[in-house]
Structure 1
Amino acid sequence: MHFTTTVRIAKSVLMAAMAFFFALVVFNNITDFQSNYQFVHHVLDMDTTFPGNKGMWRALHPAWTHLVFYLGIITYEALNMMLCWWAAAAMFRARNATPQVFTQTKVVGVVALTAGILLWLVAFLEVGAEWFLMWQSKIWNGQEAAFRMVTIEGILLIILLLPEDR
C-alpha cells in the first residue's frame, strides 16, 4: 500500500473514531437522560459552588432553562456526530483520489472537529466553568473532561490539516 493512501486511511479512521465517540455520547445522553441532565441542572443552578460567592446572581433556577440547555447540547452533539461520520466516509471514499479531491473531502472534517472543540471550549469551559462557576464545584465539575476533549479534537484537527502527499 502506498504511503499516501495509508495516511489518508489513518485520517479517515481517526475521524470515524471521533464520530463513534459522539455517537456514544449522544446514545448515553438519550438512554440515561436523567444522569447527565442532573449535571446540567446543578451547573446552571450553581447549588454546589462556594457558599456565599458573589456570582450567584448568574444562576438559572427555572427547570425549563436546564432542559433547554441540555437538549441544545444533545442536539449539537448529534449534529457534530453526523458531520464526523460524513467526513470519515467521504475521506475514506477519496483515499485514492487526487490530492485536490482528497483535500476537499477534509473540509467537512475540519468543520466537524472545529465544532467539537467549540462545544467543549464554549459550552463547558467558558459558559459552564467560568460563567456558572462550575470550577468551584467538587461534585459537578466537567472541566477535566472538557479539556481532554478540546485536546483530543485539537490534535486530530492538526493531524487532519497535515498534508499527506510527499
Structure 2
Amino acid sequence: MKLSGTGILDVVGSRRMAVAALATITGFYYLFVAFTNCVDTKTNRNAVGAVLSMKSTIHNAGTDWRAITNSNVALVAYILIVTWEFLIAFALLAAAAVWVRVLTGRPRRLRAGLDVAVKLSSLGWTMAMLLFAGGFLTVAGEWFRMWANKEVNASSAALQNFLIAGVGLVLVHLPESTTSRDTPAEQG
C-alpha cells in the first residue's frame, strides 16, 4: 500500500507518526484533565486552596508568610489553571489534526502543512512545560512548599507531565532525516 508515493511503513514507522500519536494522546489527556477539573470542582478547587494556604505543610516563620488564604485568589488560580489546560488540549489536538493531514499527504486543502503541525505541537508542549514545571513544580512546589504538603502533593504528577512534554518537544524539533534509499552511493 502506498500513500503519496511512500510505503505505508515509511509513514506509520516515521518520527512524524510518533509525534502525531504523542500530540493526539497528550491532547486528549489534557482535555480529560480540564474536563475533570470542571466536573469535580470541589475536590480540585480545595486542592488548589490547600496548596496556596500551605495549611498542611511544614510550618516555619521564614516561609509561612507566603501562604495565600483568600478563597477568591484560589478560585482565580483554579480558573486560570483549568483554562490553560483547555488551551493546551486545543493546541495539541489541532496539531494532531494537521499531522494527520501531513501524513496522508493532504495539507493543501487545509492550507496547513508540516510547519503548522510542528508549531502547534511545540506550542502545546511548551504550554504544558510552563504549567507543570513553572506553575506546579516551581511556584506550587517550592514557593508554596507543595512537596511537603500532607494533604495535596502533585509533584510527581507535575514531573510526569513535564517529562512527557519534554519528550514531545525533543521529537518535534529533531531534524528531518534522509533515508538510505535516496541515492545508491549512500547505501554503501
User: With structure 1 as the length reference, what TM-score do the two structures score?
Assistant: 0.91
Residue ranges of structure 2 left out of the alignment (5+ in a row):
1-6, 107-112, 179-188
Q: CA deviation at 1:97?
A: 4.4
Match in the other structure for 1:75 = 83
Equivalent residue letter for 2:58: F
User: Which has the greater radius of gyration?
Assistant: 2
Distance apart, 1:165 and its partner CA: 3.9
Q: Structure 1: give runs of 5+ residues left out of the alignment.
A: none
In the alignment of these two chains, the number of paired residues is 164
The list of structure 1 runs, each at least 4 consecutive aligned residues, that deviate by more than 6 angstroms after superposition, is: none
Residues 103 and 5 (structure 1), Cα distance of their counterparts in 2 relative to 1, 3 Å cut: farther
Query: Does residue 84 in structure 1 map to residue 96 in structure 2?
Result: no
**Contact 2:51–2:146, Cα closer than 8 Å, also in 1:** yes
Other-structure match for 2:118:
106
Structure 1 residue aligned with 2:70: 62
Deviation at 1:9, TM superposition (A): 2.6
Q: State the SS of the aligned residue for 1:147.
A: helix
Q: How does 1:1-166 map to 2 (within 5 A)?
A: 1-6=7-12, 7=14, 8-97=16-105, 101-166=113-178
From the two aligned structures, give the one with the greater helix fraction.
1
- The aligned amino acid for 2:161 is M
**2:95–2:116: 8 Å Cα contact kept in structure 1?**
no
Rounded Cα–Cα distance in structure 1 between residues aligned with 2:17 and 2:100: 6
AA matched with 1:89: A
Q: Which residue of 1 aligns with 2:3?
A: none
Shift of 1:87: 0.5
Q: CA deviation at 1:39?
A: 0.8
How far off is 1:52 after superposition? 3.5
1:164 positional shift? 4.6
Determine helix, strand or coil for the equivalent of 1:94: helix
Residue 77 of structure 2 aligns to which amino acid in structure 1?
A: F
Secondary structure of residue in 2 paired with 1:47: coil
Task: Tell me which amino acid in the other structure corresponds to 1:161.
Answer: H
Aligned AA for 1:121?
A
Q: Which piece of structure 1 moves more, 128-137 or 51-60?
A: 51-60
- TM-score relative to the length of structure 2: 0.81
| Counterpart-to-counterpart distance in 2, 1:46 and 1:146 | 18
Q: Percent identity among equivalent residues?
A: 30
Would you say the 8 A contact 2:17–2:103 is kept in 1? yes
